[in-house]
């Protein structure tokens, strides 16, 4: 066989190998984009190098695969749902304490499900594998929580943090195979993105409504920083019928 023919064969083989390698890389990139969504773009932007970012994301997948992440029992979901309802109602009068309680509750749920509770960045990376659509909410809420510890967060900041924590909380409470449904107190399913059903909440609490937690500012009506006793009557929380009946009996 002529030498030039061998050269052509080698060139063709090399081109085929390069094409196959490029196709395989495109498939890996598409798979990572599909799994991580907006977190893929964030990782690439943070690394400023696509290959390094993709290697980091694959490393997260491998570490997550080694963990035993367990779904919550039905009793645990109902218990945590009730705890969140109490925290949410308490935001009206004690926004900073309620936000801290929300942070602690999310951490307890994560620990019970089996996430390692070491440093925050590592925990957020693992969350990004299972919940890529809300992990940025988790990071933003954590940043606000850190500022709140230094008393540098406004009431509106705290409102945003609690709503963003809620988005991850609802994801963590989903039973396996729920297909976007979160458990509700009565055993029914509540649509993702909405607060779990509540029997009653103060009418003066515009903070914790059912709007999505991502995107621009979350409310046009700020929560008052004044104590309830000093607010105008129109802005005070509605009194329950039970409390009214008790006072009339005195």
Share of the chain above pLDDT 70, in %: 70
pTM of the model: 0.64
Are the CB atoms for 124 and 107 separated by under 8 Å?
Answer: no
Rg of the chain over all Cα atoms, to the nearest angstrom: 25
**HSE of 37, CA atoms in CB hemisphere, 13 A:** 9
> What pLDDT does 148 receive?
92
Reference 124, options 54, 204, 42, 68; nearest CA is: 42
For every residue of 38-79, which 3-state class applies, written as one string? Answer: HHHHHHHHHHCCHHHHHHHHHHHHHHHHCCCCCCCCHHHHHH
Specify the pLDDT at position 145: 93
User: How high is the pLDDT of residue 176?
Assistant: 64
pLDDT tens, residue by residue, 88-136: 999 999 999 999 999 999 999 999 999 998 889 999 999 999 999 999 9
Q: State the pLDDT at residue 17.
A: 82
If one compares 79 and 242, the residue with the highest pLDDT of the two is 79
> Does position 220 have pLDDT exceeding 80, yes or no?
no
pLDDT digits (tens, 9 = 90+) for 2-34: 777 778 777 888 888 888 877 777 888 888 888
């Amino acid at each position: 066989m002529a030498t030039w023919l061998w050269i052509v064969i080698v060139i063709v083989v090399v081109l085929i190998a390069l094409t196959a390698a490029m196709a395989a890389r495109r498939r890996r990139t598409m798979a990572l984009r599909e799994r991580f969504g907006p977190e893929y773009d964030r990782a690439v932007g943070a690394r400023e190098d696509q290959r390094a970012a993709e290697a980091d994301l694959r490393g997260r997948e491998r570490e997550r695969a080694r963990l035993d992440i367990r779904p919550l029992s039905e009793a645990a979901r109902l218990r945590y749902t009730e705890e969140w309802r109490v925290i949410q109602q308490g935001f009206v009068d004690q926004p900073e304490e309620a936000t801290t309680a929300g942070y602690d509750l999310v951490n307890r749920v994560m620990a019970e499900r089996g996430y390692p509770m070491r440093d925050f960045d590592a925990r957020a990376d693992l969350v990004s594998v299972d919940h890529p659509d809300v992990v940025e909410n988790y990071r933003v809420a954590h940043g606000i929580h850190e500022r709140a510890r230094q008393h540098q967060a406004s009431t509106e900041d705290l409102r945003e943090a609690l709503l963003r924590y809620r988005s991850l909380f609802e994801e963590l409470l989903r039973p396996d195979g729920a297909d976007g449904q979160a458990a509700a107190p009565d055993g029914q399913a509540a649509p993702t993105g909405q607060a779990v059903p509540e029997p009653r909440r103060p009418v003066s609490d515009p903070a914790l409504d059912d709007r999505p937690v991502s995107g621009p500012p979350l409310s046009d009506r700020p929560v008052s920083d004044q104590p309830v006793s000093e607010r105008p009557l129109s802005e005070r929380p509605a009194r329950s019928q039970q409390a009214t009946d008790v006072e009339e009996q005195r």
